[in-house]
Amino acid sequence: MRCFKGLAIVAIALTLLFAGAASAREIYGLSSGTVDFYTGNALLEEWRIPEARSLVDDLIKRAPEDTATLLLDGHVRFFEGDYKGALERLDGAGVTGSFRELVKVTSEISEGFKSRQSEHFEVFWENPKDEVLAGPALEGLEASYNELSKLLGFRPENRVRVEIYPTVADFTAVSTLTREEVETSGTIGLCKFNRLMITSPRVTFFGYRWRDTLCHEFAHLAVFRLSGGNAPIWIHEGLARYFEGSWRGRSGRVTPFALNLLAKRFSEDTLIPLDKMSPSVAKLPSAEDTSLAFAEVGTMVSYLIEHKGGDAPRKLLKLLAEGLGDRDAFAKVWGGTFSSFEDEWRSWVETLEVPSEDLEVMGISLKDSGGEPEAGKIPDPEAKDYTRLGDMLRARGRMEAASVEYEKGFLLLPENPAVVSKYAMGRIYLGQYQAALDAIEPVISLYEDRGSLWMRKGEALLALERYDEAASAFSELMEINPFDEPGRAGLVRSLEGSGREEEFKRAMKDLELITGGAPGGAHP
């Protein structure tokens, strides 16, 4: 989840150096055309697309058939999101190679896109069911825009392009990530080529916090533009992690899970060095390492802001844009050496309580991988056997007997999210709704990204006719897996029970959109 400079920019520079040499006027050994193309190249490198467009339009007026002008126009069009026009320009200039193929595949994949706009964003999607994401995506991004405009002074000149891809294959094709990197690191969103990209949570088994991800990528766009493309990965990810919750007033919030993971790996002396995070956290060897990297740099930024004030990120980005090195810029904002900052941050990490239980980091589980993965690991063999037996009994319609087995597993592992989810299911079946809530509450506070726990919580609250609380639980599930049909149905019933008529109508419409009017059955 990082911002990348444009692919094939170097190729532009090499081509245009040659193409501009025939122009008439010379300035310090360069023709005016070459100077223009250097300028265009530099603008593209920093994603200053409106300025690049203005330059290209001027070049077209002067030399509309010039090959180099067509080539530069093709690149600008690609960064503007005009993929078909970009391909036509590149073909007109006789371009071949990897960049032309990237433009071609992006043009083909986006051909059937539909879109919806807000004041500052335009969201594109292809699969009809993904339309359910458009409205909430725009709401979240606009809220994030309001925060980042105040905190960082970031106000893009044009609407930001946001693309939701219908398959993992499409996402990897246009992003240049590999499927292995997606599956290993859990990278499902990207800021690249002047746009935000995510894979639809519809193609995953358990979802992911997709609106946080979109706002994380928008923060990357801000960091890239405000730093002139000079921010290293660790600062990129630290600031993006800090601001990803800005859309709902949670800038700087560090989850209990992240703090626990950070404490655990610090105690084991296995933190990830900052330089090892380059060229991308997507290339780290495991989902746990990716989560740890986010925890490290996110808390570093939080620590800096806590001690140096809310304008620290803006100062840091300004120094980077001026060409100061990352550690020197950070040290200047800190008011001491970078080593002194690291020492203080490490001393703070050392005060964190090391968790007594092993933590489980769930990566992204893709539906097209074949088979259905378990919804979490159960490390105790006996508890795992009880849970499996409960699943077998439930599959045969013997839910009361299954509840007994789930309880046995729960007594052995009362803090394991997979076990607690099954135990709560059994309690709900038996009408023991408060027992289900009592079991869920301490676990969901740590594993707040587990959709099954929010589902159980919503079901129990709905049964107790605590409709507003149930709606909140089901809404949280929608932040993780908006295509969970039983969860959508639970949200509809909760809103209806609470008398929130307008929200009920919208939720009903969304449910019909993802189900075709036929809601799914029980939640696993």
Cβ atoms within 10 Å, residue 55: 19
Pairwise CA distance, residues 362 & 375, whole Å: 9
The whole-number pLDDT of residue 33 equals 63
450 and 376 in contact (C-beta within 8 Å)? yes
How far apart CA 42 and CA 5 sit, in angstroms, is 11
Comparing 81-85, 177-181, 387-391, 456-460, the range with the smallest average pLDDT is 177-181
Residues in the chain: 524
Helices (H), 449-500: 451-463, 467-480, 485-498
Query: What is the C-alpha separation between 411 and 420, in angstroms, rounded?
Result: 10
How many whole angstroms from its chain centre is CA 154? Answer: 19
Whole-Å CA distances, 153 to 302, 434, 441: 19, 47, 39
Measured CA to CA, the distance from residue 199 to residue 66 in angstroms comes to 38
**pLDDT for the residue 524:** 52
Report the pLDDT value the prediction gives residue 16, as an integer from 0 to 100.
Answer: 35
The mean pLDDT of 228-255, rounded to a whole number, is 94
Look at the block and give the residue holding tokens 């980042």: 148
φ/ψ (deg, to 5) at 447: -100, 65
Query: What domains are there in the chain, each with its CATH number?
Result: 3-109 (no CATH), 118-350 (1.10.390.10), 375-515 (1.25.40.10)
Q: What would the DSSP string read from start to end of 62-112? A: H-TT-HHHHHHHHHHHHHHT-HHHHHHHHHHTT--SHHHHHHHHHHHHTTT
Neighbours of 478 (CB within 10 A): 23
DSSP single-letter state for residue 204:
B
E-assigned strands of 154-202?
Answer: 160-165, 189-192, 195-199
**pLDDT for 39:** 86
Beta carbons of 164 and 208 less than 8 angstroms apart: no
Residues 6 or more apart in contact with residue 244 via CB below 8 angstroms: 212, 213, 215, 216, 219
pLDDT in tens, 246-293: 999 999 999 999 999 999 999 999 999 999 998 888 888 888 999 999
Nearest C-alpha neighbor of 313 from the set 122, 151, 149, 95: 151
What is d(CA 487, CA 484) in angstroms, rounded to the nearest whole number? 5
Which neighbouring-strand residues pair with 121? 160
Rounded to an integer, the average pLDDT of 41-51 is 91
CB 487, CB 478: distance < 8 Å: yes
Give the count of beta carbons closer than 10 Å to the beta carbon of residue 97: 10
Phi, psi of 56 (to 5 degrees): -65, -40
What is the structure's pLDDT at 30?
45
String of DSSP letters for 6-49: PTTHHHHHHHHHHHGGG-S-EETTEEHHHHHHHHHHHHHHTT-H
Q: Which residues contact 211 (CB under 8 A, 6 or more apart)?
A: 136, 137, 140, 247, 479
In the predicted model, is pLDDT for residue 124 greater than 70? yes
Give the range among 62-66, 246-250, 492-496, 510-514 with minimum mean pLDDT.
62-66
Please give the average per-residue pLDDT across 84-106, as a whole number. 94
For the cut 50, the answer to whether the pLDDT of residue 17 exceeds it is no
Under the banding of pLDDT at 50, 70 and 90, the label for residue 18 is very low
pLDDT digits (tens, 9 = 90+) for 381-406: 999 999 999 999 999 999 999 999 99
* 523, pLDDT greater than 70: no
In this prediction, residue 23 carries a pLDDT of 34
Specify the pTM.
Answer: 0.91
Per-residue tokens: 369: 């991988």
Place of tokens 């594109």: 124
Q: What percent of the chain has pLDDT over 90?
A: 77
The dihedral region occupied by 125, where left means phi > 0, alpha psi between -120 and 50, and beta the remainder, is beta
Q: What number of other Cβ atoms are within 10 A of residue 502's Cβ?
A: 8
Identify which has the larger pLDDT, 181 or 86. 86
Contact indicator for 192, 106 with CB cutoff of 8 Å: no
Whether the CB-CB separation of 191 and 221 falls below 8 Å is answered with yes
The 10s digit of each residue's pLDDT in 144-185 is: 999 999 999 999 999 999 999 999 999 999 998 889 888 888
Residue 28 pLDDT greater than 90, yes or no: no
